[in-house]
Chain A
Amino acid sequence: MGILEVKGINKRFGGLQALGDVNLSVAENTVHAIIGPNGAGKSTLLNVLVGKLIPDSGSVMFDGQSVLGRKPHEINQMGISRVFQTPEIFSDLSVFENVLIPCFAKRDGSFRMHAIESVFSEKAIHQQAEEILADVNMLEKRHMIASSLSRGDKRRLEMAMCLVQDPRLLLLDEPTAGMARADTENTINLLKEIRTKRGITMAIIEHDMNVVFSLAERITVLAQGTPLVEDTPDNIKGHPKVREAYLGEAQV
């Protein structure tokens, strides 16, 4: 039984069947990649998992609890964090504040009226934030305004913001999309490091096969809204159905 169990998800947008009977099981302490050609329904699936979309039918269970019908902030409080295709950070705030906020969210829940205490007096939370920034090599940039960071640093910062919450499942939506070669390598290394250091369960949606095969321990191939196969990376590489799905796209 995986930490995330998706059963029989269907989602239609008008006449388009975006997801048809999707089953997926992400085992605890693995990196599970979801790949597929454009329009395969990867992003739709991810949006269902985080509560942004509600499926027409099916169930999504996280650690034995249903995720469906909950708001994104409630799902995050259950222990699911998400990294976006283009980093979503608090760009007007300093790097340090960017990591302080998830620390507070983790400790105080989705709302607390702590209006009179000073941010400066929260020593434990400061320490937590400093540790995570040191982990992603950004401690010396803590006073910079987040919008002035390079794209790679923004990605690192977003990752730090998710990690500091100690998520039980980290969802990554094409973390290297649009990145230069060097940045992609850096991101792969960062993710590998996170994986070995913290043992966080991850689900990755990715286009770049290089990224997928260097990280994933389990791969699900999605095509036209339905899972084709689910297997280990080695078996996926030579799988005829997968080649068909991708080559089919290439010929068009």
Chain B
Amino acid sequence: MLGLEKKDFRLMLIVVVLTLLAPFILNPFPEGSELAQFNAGYPDLMQRFVIFGILAIGFNILFGLTGYLSFGHAAFLGVGSYAAVWMFKLLSMNIVPAILLSVVIAGLFSLVIGFVSLRRSGIYFSILTLAFAQMSYALAYSVLTPLTGGETGLQPKASDVRLFDGALEAGENATPSLFGLAMRDTYEMSVGSWVFTFNFGYYVAAVMMILAFYISIRIFRSPFGMMLRAIKSNQTRMSYTGLNSKPYTLAAFVISGMYAGLAGGLLVAMDPQAGAERMFWTASGEIVLMTILGGAGTLIGPVLGAGFIKYFENIVSKINKATLEQWFYWMPDGIEDVMIAIVYPFVGKGWHLTLGLLFMLVVIFLPGGLVQGGQKIAAIFRRKKSSDAKDGATTPAE
């Protein structure tokens, strides 16, 4: 269906259902309960889940298939963001031109960077992309201030042209919208003590992610995708089979750059501002972490990885000393203090430590990422099931 094999179609359906029902799934704990702080179903975080999901899906087309490790993908995210803000400033707060331009500009930018960087492979390629991204960051931060807003970043202002909308009125906030429907429009549904939040912006981003995921499945299953995996496997055989690996890798690079541009445009569509820090090398590193944590080269892995990291960044980082005291209040005094002292470095500002440990565990024990973990668990269940079935089959015979 939809040009997909049965197995892929099933995966696609699962992703569609999960993203559309995310406001329910991510809010399993009733409001006001102790566990409510683990709820992730608020618009800002849900938007981040899907937007960084898009970013990781695109990165995976390059890294997962061809094995070329780009260490500068945040540059395309940043360029896409700036392009989107400029569309807001010049044309209108409608997100359509903003997102289109962010994809196009990121695509052109990645064509140039890819053309130069792909002259080398392996570590040299990574270093070249890293250098380009850091150059872009430095340019955006200082030299190109008229274009990027420099340190303060770029945002819609009262002096903007806004060809279609007209200038901002005094006190009016620039709110991105899709043909009149504001991204921040939110509907809250209360069921008992649960509160579920449905945000228009989230659903716009979610539809984009579903689309992005669908295209990525098609690419994975296409002859083009097979060629990309062949490049990762054996470049010598590739060229002695009459195939030119350069345009293939460049095409993959540009596609993943456009995905990053789309993510950048969507970030701006949700919150109309862009800053140079979006291009900083740690941002590029985060994309690599997401993809490896989830499972590079798998379809769903990058989305899982992105969700995981964003969850940690937003939820675990919010646990503070007071929360810990609340958790361990039932323990005897001395032990309580010890427990808090042990756990404290891993939460709040120390969330990176937890994430780092998790990352190490995954890379050491599950080199295939979280997806491999899922497969292992599924295999255990299947074995149990089949042995149960065998028992069931033998019992009546006796």
Interface residue ranges, A against B (CB under 8 Å): 50, 71-74, 76-77, 81-82, 84, 88-93, 97, 100-102, 104-106, 108-122, 161, 165
Contact = CB atoms under 8 A, between A and B. Distances in A.
Given A90-B230, A113-B251, A119 B237 contact: no
A90 to B, nearest CB: 4
Interface stretch (B21-29, B178-186, B239-247, B385-393): B239-247
B240 A76 contact: yes
Given A73-B244, A90-B233, A92-B229, A104 B239 contact: no
A120 to B, nearest CB: 7
Contacts of B326: none
A113 B226 contact: no
Contact of B242 (A76, A88, A117): A76
B3 to A, nearest CB: 6
Interface in B87-101: none
B221 A93 contact: no
Nearest to B222: A115
A89 B233 CA distance: 8
Given A76-B241, A97-B229, 4 more contacts: A88-B236, A90-B237, A102-B242, A114-B223
A144 to B, nearest CB: 15
B352 interface: no
Interface residues of B, number: 30
B67 to A, nearest CB: 10
B224 interface: yes
Contact of B218 (A74, A84, A110, A118): A118
Contact of A161 (B3, B218, B222, B241): B241
B154 interface: no
B218 A165 contact: no
A112 B233 CA distance: 19
Contacts of B218: 115-116, 118
Interface in B207-247: 218-219, 221-227, 229-230, 232-234, 236-244, 247
A73 B239 contact: yes
Contacts of B234: 88-91
Contacts of B230: 90, 93, 97, 101
Contacts of B232: 92
A122 B223 CA distance: 9
Contacts of A81: 240
